[in-house]
Amino acid sequence: MKDNGMEVINTRVAHAGWDDHRYFGYSVFNELAGHETYTGLIGLTVHGRRISSEQVRILDDIAGAFAVAEPRIYALKIVRLISSFGRILPACASGILYMEDAIIGPWTSKYAAENLVELDNLIGSNLDDNEYVTKRTIEFLEKKKRLKGYGVPFRSSDERIRAIRKCIERRERHTRRVWRLFEAVSDVLRKERGLEPNVSTALAAVYLDLGFTSDEIPVIATALSHNLLLANAIEEAKQKSPALQRLPEDSILYVGKARRKSPRAVAAGQDKGS
Amino acid sequence: MTDDGKCRTYSGPIEEQKWAAKLKANVITPGYDSCIHGYSMNEDLIWNYSFTETVLLTLTGEIPAESDRILFETALKFLLPVSVAEAPVHAGVVARLCGASQSGVTGIGAIGLAEQARFIVEKHRGLLEWLDREDKRLPDEYHAADDEERRSVDVIRNCVKQAGLEINGLEENPSRISSIIMMLHACGLRKSEQIELSIVMARISSITAEALNVEPGDFRDYPIDLPPFRYQEKS
């Protein structure tokens, strides 16, 4: 369809009306306001349709288990550095900006989910056959060389997985297909290769069991971790720490090229300005 | 707080492991007498080299040849004008209209330009590979689309010729952006990251310049339905 010769852009997201607005097919004032939780709105936003209250509760559980807002962790360090100049939202934007396709952070759960989907296709209905799961998992690992979502830096295992496991056991979702696959594959990789899963694979398993796709998973994971960015941005925007704005010179180790003269300085035979 | 009013302390992997104590600097030394790749700003670069030469030095690690300076400067000039028709400037203008601070406008513009540059370079990955090999003719997808574009490439070609320089591929009917990428490649910027940065750097001033001419709050003057959107619900 064209409008004044210009292609019309179709949107399913929203429309602003006079007395009410529309959001993904729902009346904002009659069907969402007062009826939907914030997490439910995030689910609707990413998924394009409303999610159940059980799904909302699980997303809330995950957001809680994922709430590691330690300011020295890389993503949050970025937020602290930018908010040290006194503003909150540019810092949050920076924290989000680094995430897409980064090797740590929510985007790794996309690749972890893709791996789990592929493994699910390979293993099929043989999930209870240990020998079969081991064989297929090792073949998969050898084909991939490096498995995103496995490997835990600086500690022996990812404590967040223990927290997530507790949550999903409490909600009796540990018997779901992808979670079982995650546990089975992780057991194999731990035993055969000494590889521990990190939280991105556990998250991917939970999200896949909830019906989210590999593409939706990093987006919803990002949306549900905004509190981590905000917490650091709010605090640092108030503190405006001079050491974050500029590190003391003696904390920098210069490892670049040694001091030298440029060809033009050599030709001029002088060090001007000194 | 503990019962006796003291702050409770905790320990974790960051406290209990050994980490580097200093942050490494590879290019620029800190302090007022900065060196870039070993060349002093105060004693050398400020007196002997232009801004674009200094940028090229920063990006490549070496003092550029005069021909590299000409190519880089010419490429940046051709890249600079980016009109409000293009998303990064449009976004900057809307931000200003809404009363965003200058840092907001610059930040939005910079993100827009960085994304635009990533998009351009991604589409021209094959061109960069071709420039590294040049073993066959320029792939069709990097050719100029029409006579208007070809005329604009003629200007670029004339600039290069007038400077007494030659660039491989420039005679193969490249698109305008392809010919600019060829210039950047010829002056030593071979990595896609360097090309992306050059695009952003060249264009950032266009955004603020255009945005500063917008009156914050003048919403009636902004064509809100351009381009046109239509909301559709799944039945």
Interhelix angle A177-193/A130-144, rounded to 10 degrees, is 70
At A2 the pLDDT is 75
B27-53 confidence digits (pLDDT tens): 999 999 899 999 999 999 999 999 999
Residue A4 has pLDDT above 70, yes or no: yes
Partner-chain contact A6 B227, CB within 8 Å: yes
In a domain, A143, yes or no: yes
In a domain, B86, yes or no: yes
Q: Burial-class residue B105 by CB neighbours within 10 Å (0-12, 13-18, 19+).
A: buried
Quickly count: other Cβ atoms within 10 Å of residue A239's Cβ.
13
Which residues of chain A have a CB within 8 Å of the CB of B111?
93, 97
In a domain, A40, yes or no: no
At A5 the pLDDT is 83
The alpha-carbon gap from A271 to the nearest alpha carbon of chain B, in Å, equals 5
Is-contact A90 B104, C-beta < 8 A?
Answer: yes
Partner-chain contact B103 A247, CB within 8 Å: no
Token couple for B17: 């492991």
In a domain, A13, yes or no: no
Q: Using pLDDT thresholds of 50, 70 and 90, give the confidence band for residue B131.
A: very high
Q: Identify from A9, A13, A245, A254 which residue to disrupt to test chain B contact, counting B C-beta atoms within 10 A and taking the largest count.
A: A254
d(CA B197, CA B59): 9
Q: Are both B172 and B213 inside the same structural domain? A: yes
At B1 the pLDDT is 61
B56-109 confidence digits (pLDDT tens): 999 999 999 999 999 999 999 999 999 999 999 999 999 999 999 999 999 999
A222-269 confidence digits (pLDDT tens): 999 999 999 999 999 999 999 999 999 999 999 999 999 999 999 998
| Nearest residue of B to residue A154, measured between CA atoms | B13
Strands B23-25 and A21-23 turn out to be unpaired
User: Of B23, B25, B43, which is closest to A271 when you measure between CB atoms?
Assistant: B43
Q: In terms of residue numbers, what domain contains B47?
A: 32-64
Q: Are both B44 and B127 inside the same structural domain? A: no
Which ipTM score applies to this complex?
A: 0.92
A149-202 confidence digits (pLDDT tens): 999 988 999 999 999 999 999 999 999 999 999 999 999 999 999 999 999 999
- Name the residue among A9, A1, A215 with its Cα closest to residue B87: A9
Residue A274 has pLDDT above 60, yes or no: no
Q: Are both B162 and B49 inside the same structural domain? A: no
- What CATH number has the domain bearing residue A178? 1.10.230.10
Q: Are both B58 and B70 inside the same structural domain? A: no
Q: Using pLDDT thresholds of 50, 70 and 90, give the confidence band for residue B189.
A: very high
In a domain, A185, yes or no: yes
Partner-chain contact A256 B63, CB within 8 Å: no
Q: What number of C-beta contacts closer than 8 Å exist between A and B?
A: 117
At B232 the pLDDT is 94
Partner-chain contact B22 A13, CB within 8 Å: no
Q: Are both B49 and B113 inside the same structural domain? A: no
d(CA B168, CA B157): 11
At A210 the pLDDT is 95
- For A146-186, the three-class secondary structure string (H helix, E strand, C coil) is CCCCECCCCCCCCHHHHHHHHHHHHCCCCCCHHHHHHHHHH
Please name the amino acid found at residue B216. P
Q: Are both B148 and B206 inside the same structural domain? A: yes
In a domain, B96, yes or no: yes
Q: Are both B91 and B116 inside the same structural domain? A: yes
In a domain, B231, yes or no: no
Cis peptide before B227 (omega within 30 of 0): yes
Residue A270 has pLDDT above 90, yes or no: no
The alpha-carbon gap from A6 to the nearest alpha carbon of chain B, in Å, equals 7
| Nearest residue of B to residue A24, measured between CA atoms | B233
- Helix, coil or strand: residue B23: strand
In a domain, B5, yes or no: no
Paired with A11 in beta bridges are B231
Residue B197 has pLDDT above 90, yes or no: yes
A60-111 confidence digits (pLDDT tens): 999 998 889 999 999 999 999 999 999 999 999 999 999 998 998 899 999 9
At B59 the pLDDT is 97
Q: State the DSSP H helix or E strand holding residue B160, giving kind and residue range, or none if neither.
A: helix B147-162
In a domain, B232, yes or no: no
Which ranges of chain A does DSSP label H, i.e. alpha helix? 38-47, 53-65, 74-83, 89-97, 108-123, 130-144, 159-170, 177-193, 199-209, 216-223, 226-239, 242-245, 263-268
Please name the amino acid found at residue B147. D
In a domain, A270, yes or no: no
In a domain, B17, yes or no: no
Q: Using pLDDT thresholds of 50, 70 and 90, give the confidence band for residue B4.
A: confident
Token couple for A252: 């920098």
Number of domains in chain B: 2
Q: Average pLDDT of B9-21?
A: 93
Partner-chain contact A9 B229, CB within 8 Å: yes
Partner-chain contact B227 A9, CB within 8 Å: yes
At A271 the pLDDT is 54
Q: Are both B121 and B36 inside the same structural domain? A: no
At A250 the pLDDT is 95
d(CA B142, CA B175): 6
Q: What sign does the dihedral A29-A33-A35-A38 (CA atoms) show?
A: positive
Q: Using pLDDT thresholds of 50, 70 and 90, give the confidence band for residue B118.
A: very high
In a domain, A142, yes or no: yes
Q: In terms of residue numbers, what domain contains A179?
A: 108-223
Q: Are both B38 and B147 inside the same structural domain? A: no
Q: Are both B36 and B144 inside the same structural domain? A: no
d(CA B59, CA A226): 34
Q: Burial-class residue B206 by CB neighbours within 10 Å (0-12, 13-18, 19+).
A: buried
Is-contact B63 B55, C-beta < 8 A?
Answer: no
Residue A272 has pLDDT above 70, yes or no: no
In a domain, A196, yes or no: yes
The alpha-carbon gap from A160 to the nearest alpha carbon of chain B, in Å, equals 14
The alpha-carbon gap from A214 to the nearest alpha carbon of chain B, in Å, equals 23
Is-contact B127 B142, C-beta < 8 A?
Answer: yes
Which residues of chain B have a CB within 8 Å of the CB of A97?
111
Q: Average pLDDT of A135-144?
A: 93
Q: Are both B153 and B59 inside the same structural domain? A: no
In a domain, A153, yes or no: yes
Q: Are both B190 and B89 inside the same structural domain? A: yes
The alpha-carbon gap from B169 to the nearest alpha carbon of chain A, in Å, equals 31
B143-159 confidence digits (pLDDT tens): 999 999 999 999 999 99
Number of domains in chain A: 1
